[in-house]
Structure 1
Amino acid sequence: MKTSLLSVVVIAVIAVASVGMLIAGGYLDGGSAVNIVDMSGRTVHLNHTVNRVVILESYWTEIACALGAEDKIVGIGSYVTPSVFVPDSVKSKDVVGNIFSGVNIETVLALDPDLVIMDYGYGKAAETVQALEGAGIPVITLYAKSFDDIINATMIIGQALGASESAQSLAGYMSSLHSQLLSNASSIPTEERPRVLICNLDVWKEGQIYAYSNTSWGNVVVDVGGINVAHERFGGMQWVKVNVEQVLLWDPDIIVIIGRTQPILSSQMDSMDDPIWHSLRAVKEGRVYPVLSGSYDRESYLDWTPRMVVGELQLASCIHPAHFASLNWTSAWDWLISNYYGYLQG
């Protein structure tokens, strides 16, 4: 039996409210102090209201802006400036580097931030956190492998920047759509679930591809009623480089090609003119779908931001159009624009 959308919304809002209370650590939003457990499990103590924040990644910056906290951003990472979902007023802030090539700690200190928000788990993240905290600057670390992680990150950013009410409302909307999507997918019989390869062809010149397994993109395939062939084979690995022989063995029903810009996607689709692809079921049946990800194109929705719920619906319409006809991804994006991304309409 399908759950009504109203029931889903109520359940989602209650769940998000519970997450918010856990994140707050017992302190009220807007109070003089707050304890926040970030996504690497660290307890971060903020002893006063955050008025100045440095954010290193484009997706966390985008969430802060969507929550109305753009005026608190005083510095950004170098990968924020190319984002088309961040206002120009924020992209003009001082750039402090990134956790791949390194963060200029002196530049960060000169900005006198109350908080730094950044990724963890790769690059120079660990040494950056150590240096910043050694200088007395609190650091919140975030990362996303799933839709729930994006919800959690939204709540954490809202709590840290004094925008909990806005974050709870936004997360409630995202969760309601996600829950409806899961409800629809649960009714799809096992025998009707297609085997899906979601990948990019950045290394096709080497005769290989990157397949998304246990990543936010890869997990969307499962959420919308597909079988992620890479996850079946490689389990908990996030993304894997596989050769063409493995792709031929999989012979997926559907192939989703991921790229960050239209030119990249066009180039990757051109790569599929190689005759080796022509024997695949997905190619023969015309079920190869190019999908944008990241923040470089206004038609990109797969990212660690509120746009992710739109990207989920977009993928659902490719993988199971009949089961998700009632969930319109363009309407979802229009709602987000009207309610949280109004700065893009200027």
Structure 2
Amino acid sequence: MGRFFPIFVFTLLSVSLGFCVTVTDSLGRVVHIEEPVKRVITNYGLLPPFIYLLGEGDKFYAGMFLGKEFYRLLDEEVQKKVLKGRSLNIEFVKKENPQVVISAYWQANQRDVKQLEALGIPVVFVKLESVEDINNTIRILGKIFGKEEKAEEMINYYSKSLSDLKDYVKGISTKPSVLIVFYDGRAHSYRTFGGDMFQSKLVELAGGICVSRDLRGKKAINAEQVARWDPDVILIIQYRSSAQKVKKFIFADPLWKRTEAARKGRVYIVPNDGENWIDPCPMWILGLYWCAKILHPEILQDLDLKKMAEEFYERFFNLDLERVKIMGDFTF
């Protein structure tokens, strides 16, 4: 083990002497971490936003990001923290010597994770596939960073806001059918989300019926499939490609533009501040309310979503909404 043997020994001593924090991760594994926690690495692209949410960006040394633009407002050093590739570079992790590495639950059997554990570097696995998963992950992070109170504040906000939204939509008699779509530039195909994905679950919570609910995972779709579904509403997510280009394509393609959504002009680009609002990110609650207002404007006509967003960014990120560049159909 060379110079990493002392790390392993110190970890054991920390546990035995009580100088550690103990967490149960999303896989039910009990993990002991030396405290106070000051150095964290993650290769889970969805996780960094939640670390910044708790105000612990200075403890975050390297990780994957799905969107970096928003986090430049919070951390001038964020560009230096970006990991390249989806897998962990073991040599890089050794060099950085983190107190803990946080990974996605589906990475649990990867060889590099096992190598880290062999070096005495704790690995925590988290999950972000549902609202319950998000709350659990926030609690795990809160315990790791000693920010349990902040974590519970966030969870309580989500829970209260979700409960209020459910009260809004519980009396709905007609639920529109919804297709979520994004363009995968790597595969050169249009894709959607299955019913097991967070994005589809959010649409259902907002009072819609996801046309792809019988699928699993991210799936490529074609115009013929979309025509058979004939969704009432189409929501476009933007990642690397321009959502405006996708929107133009929908209104130009003969099959796509025959859909009820295109005919009625109910094709919308999901708001994005660097993170898509209907992805499992801290802003998911804004995405839920946005989606509900898109689907049921008559019920949520009094909702001031801009005010809600202003209060959210100020309260949890200490940011004025005017500094946040929100792309997409966020016009009310």
Query: TM over 0.5, yes or no?
Result: yes
Q: Is the 8 A contact 1:70 1:90 kept in 2?
A: no
Residue 226 of structure 1, aligned match among 208, 224, 234: 208
Q: Which amino acid aligns with 2:233?
A: I
Residue 118 of structure 1, aligned match among 95, 103, 109: 103
1:19 corresponding residue in structure 2: none
Superposed CA deviations along residues 180-230 of structure 1, whole A, max 9, x for unmatched, are 1122222112xx111111122337997x63121221111111001111111
1:140-179 matches, within 5 Å, as 140-179=124-163
Q: Which amino acid aligns with 1:158?
A: G
Q: Which sections of structure 1, spanning at least 5 residues, go unmatched?
A: 1-30
1:267-346 matches, within 5 Å, as 267-272=245-250, 273-293=252-272, 296=274, 300-342=276-318
Q: Is the 8 A contact 1:313 1:328 kept in 2?
A: no
Q: Does 1:259 align with 2:238?
A: yes
Q: Which amino acid aligns with 2:198?
A: S
Q: Is the 8 A contact 1:181 1:324 kept in 2?
A: no
Q: CA deviation at 1:42?
A: 2.3
Q: Does 1:212 align with 2:193?
A: yes
Q: 1:105 to 1:343 in 2, by over 3 A?
A: farther
Q: CA deviation at 1:112?
A: 1.9
Q: Which amino acid aligns with 1:250?
A: W
Distance 2:249 2:125 in 1: 37
Q: 1:36 to 1:205 in 2, by over 3 A?
A: closer
Q: CA deviation at 1:80?
A: 6.5
Q: CA deviation at 1:174?
A: 1.5
Residue 242 of structure 1, aligned match among 218, 221, 233: 221
Distance 1:103 1:223 in 2: 35
User: Aligned-pair RMSD on alpha carbons?
Assistant: 2.7
Q: Is the 8 A contact 2:231 2:260 kept in 1?
A: yes
Distance 1:310 1:132 in 2: 37
Q: Does 1:107 align with 2:83?
A: no
2:31 corresponding residue in structure 1: 44
Q: How many corresponding residue pairs? A: 302
Distance 1:242 1:64 in 2: 34
Q: Which amino acid aligns with 1:270?
A: K
1:172-191 matches, within 5 Å, as 172-189=156-173
TM-score, normalising length: structure 1: 0.78
- Flag as ranges the 4+ runs of structure 1 deviating above 4 A: 92-96, 203-206, 343-346
Q: CA deviation at 1:114?
A: 0.9
Q: Is the 8 A contact 2:116 2:122 kept in 1?
A: yes
1:63 corresponding residue in structure 2: 50
Q: CA deviation at 1:93?
A: 4.2
Q: CA deviation at 1:240?
A: 1.9
Distance 1:51 1:37 in 2: 19
For the residue of structure 1 that corresponds to 2:228, the secondary structure is helix
Distance 1:186 1:282 in 2: 24
Distance 1:98 1:202 in 2: 17
Q: CA deviation at 1:307?
A: 0.7
Distance 1:269 1:139 in 2: 41
TM-score, normalising length: structure 2: 0.81
Q: Which sections of structure 2, spanning at least 5 residues, go unmatched?
A: 1-17, 325-332
